[in-house]
Amino acid sequence: MELDDRKSRTGACPMTIQLYTWSTPNGRKISILLEELGVPYEVHTIDITKDEQFSQDFLAINPNNKIPAIIDPDGPGDATFTLFESGAILIYLAKKHQSPLWPDDPLLQARVLQWLMFQMGGVGPMFGQLHHFRRYAAHESYSLGRYEKEVHRLYAVLDKELGERPYLASDDYSIADIATYPWIARFPLHGLEWAAVPNVKRWFDAVGARPAVASGMAVPSA
């Protein structure tokens, strides 16, 4: 893997964000946000199927050997800044660019943070475990049943909330929706019918219709 083998998304410039990613829900959170913000970025593909996340070059960027990670050459104090953990990156970039995806109102910020943490602490880990057992250990009936039950519970929470408002945190689209959407995009692995979660389906279709979401979900390109 060569970390300087880049694919430009919006045109190279000295202040271009460097995005280290792969075609996973966590990686796609960041490419969606960057597309929504309309800021220049370059993609470095970290092929986790080939263990490229364990290379010394990448470990220098993220010692936890997980994608995504970014390098911002225009970070705080005009210094180059490296950041990993998808939730932290979402907050950092949305705040830096003064985006409404991170609202100004403290109450709304707290609600966005609440649903972002719901994704980080619940949706991501539980959906990820279900994906693993569905794909690679379907014979493990206890594990598969355990994670499927929890995923269905999380869907019920989402469906109830989305029956009360258009988006997860408020009437407005936010980084909480961006964080959650790529996980729901793997719906065929979750053992549900859309009819069971109609409010999630309505939200999923609305978010997926955004051009920036479609573009971000295509990163990295095949």
- In this prediction, what percent of the chain has a pLDDT beyond 90? 89
Burial of 14 (0-12, 13-18, 19+ CB in 10 A): exposed
Whole-number pLDDT of residue 1:
41
Going by C-alpha positions, the residue among 187, 194, 206, 198 that lies closest to residue 25 is: 187
Q: Phi and psi for 18 in degrees, rounded to 5?
A: -100, 120
Tokens 């990820």 sit on residue? 128
Q: Phi and psi for 84 in degrees, rounded to 5?
A: -125, 175
Residue 44: band (very low, low, confident or very high) from pLDDT cuts 50, 70, 90: very high
Q: How much is the average pLDDT of 113-122?
A: 98
pLDDT greater than 70 at residue 126: yes
- In this prediction, what percent of the chain has a pLDDT beyond 70? 93
Q: How much is the average pLDDT of 122-129?
A: 96
Burial of 151 (0-12, 13-18, 19+ CB in 10 A): buried
Whole-number pLDDT of residue 57:
95
Whole-number pLDDT of residue 148:
95
pLDDT greater than 80 at residue 4: no
Per-residue CA distances from 84 to 14, 81, 102, 154 (Å) = 21, 10, 19, 26
pLDDT greater than 80 at residue 49: yes
pLDDT greater than 70 at residue 53: yes
Q: How much is the average pLDDT of 103-131?
A: 97
Q: What is the pLDDT of residues 91-109, one digit of tens each?
A: 999 999 999 999 999 999 9
Q: What is the pLDDT of residues 151-201, one digit of tens each?
A: 999 999 999 999 999 999 999 999 999 999 999 999 999 999 999 999 999
Residue 14: band (very low, low, confident or very high) from pLDDT cuts 50, 70, 90: low
Q: What is the pLDDT of residues 133-146, one digit of tens each?
A: 998 888 889 999 99
Whole-number pLDDT of residue 88:
98
How high is the mean pLDDT of the chain? Answer: 93
